């Protein structure tokens, strides 16, 4: 007897979303600065900080996993925090603005049934949103960037 398992999604197309990669050599600049072990709530998180360069040029990456035994549900997230450096061309004044991005995924049970399916679901979710936001030359236009808020999701999903 043969059992076939599939992920019920529409046909995937090639998306022209531009991916940003951190050079392999730069991974050495990430250091673990905070870690929590699973507690009574079955929640664990870690904070990694990228620290090559000036003290204010940092990037924090925080993976988190929480398991709810009552619902038999696991919630995961990957949070990226950084500072956007703005330099005034006239006065030379430097300001820093915080920015944060989060990717979250959940599944039933305490252990991930299939990493491939989770990765595919994240790719589809990102593609739905970011395909709409990326311009034809892989560079978002000002008009597109201005729409990156709650209204863009309402536009995509009707």
Residue 68 domain-assigned (yes or no):
yes
- Check if the beta carbon of residue 52 is closer than 8 Å to that of residue 29: yes
Can you give the pTM of this predicted structure? 0.71
Residue 15 domain-assigned (yes or no):
no
In the predicted model, what is the mean pLDDT of residues 137-147? 63
- Check if the beta carbon of residue 106 is closer than 8 Å to that of residue 73: yes
- Check if the beta carbon of residue 108 is closer than 8 Å to that of residue 121: no
Which two structure tokens, joined as six digits, stand for 88? 């005034």
In the predicted model, what is the mean pLDDT of residues 5-11? 64
Residue 81 domain-assigned (yes or no):
yes
What's the residue count for the chain? 158
Parent domain of 46? 24-156
pLDDT of 87 reads: 86
Residue 118 domain-assigned (yes or no):
yes
Model confidence at 75: pLDDT above 70:
yes
What lies within 8 Å, CB to CB, of 111 at 6+ separation is 74
pLDDT of 121 reads: 81
Residue 120 domain-assigned (yes or no):
yes
- Check if the beta carbon of residue 152 is closer than 8 Å to that of residue 129: yes
Least confident stretch, 29-33, 78-82, 150-154: 150-154
Residue 1 domain-assigned (yes or no):
no
For the stretch 76-114, pLDDT in tens is 999 999 888 888 888 888 888 888 988 898 888 888 777
Residue with tokens 């664990």: 44
- In DSSP terms, 67 is beta-bridged to 74
How sure is the predictor about 118, in pLDDT bands with cuts at 50, 70 and 90?
confident
In the predicted model, what is the mean pLDDT of residues 138-157? 65
Residue 94 domain-assigned (yes or no):
yes
Q: Residue 93 belongs to a domain with what CATH number?
A: 3.30.380
Residue with tokens 């599939």: 6
User: How far is the C-alpha of 157 from the C-alpha of 144, rounded, in Å?
Assistant: 17
Whole-number Cα distances in Å, 64 to 23, 98, 123: 24, 20, 19
Task: Phi first, then psi: give them for residue 14, nearest 5 degrees.
Answer: -75, 130
Residue 7 domain-assigned (yes or no):
no
Structural domain tally of the chain? Answer: 1
pLDDT of 116 reads: 79
pLDDT of 36 reads: 81
Mean pLDDT of the chain: 77
């Amino acid at each position: 007897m043969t059992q076939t398992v599939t992920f019920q999604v529409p046909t995937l197309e090639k998306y022209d979303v531009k991916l940003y990669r951190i050079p392999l050599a730069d991974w050495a600049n990430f250091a673990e600065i905070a870690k929590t072990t699973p507690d009574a709530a079955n929640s664990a998180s870690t904070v990694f900080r990228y620290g090559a360069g000036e003290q204010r040029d940092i990037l924090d990456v925080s993976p988190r996993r929480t398991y709810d035994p009552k619902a038999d549900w696991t919630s995961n997230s990957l949070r990226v925090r950084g500072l956007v450096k703005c330099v005034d061309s006239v006065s030379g004044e430097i300001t820093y603005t915080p920015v944060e991005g989060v990717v979250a995924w959940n599944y039933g049970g305490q252990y991930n049934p299939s990493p491939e399916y989770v990765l595919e679901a994240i790719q589809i979710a990102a593609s739905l949103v970011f395909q709409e936001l990326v311009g034809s030359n892989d560079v978002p236009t000002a008009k597109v960037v201005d729409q990156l808020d709650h209204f863009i999701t309402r536009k995509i999903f009707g």
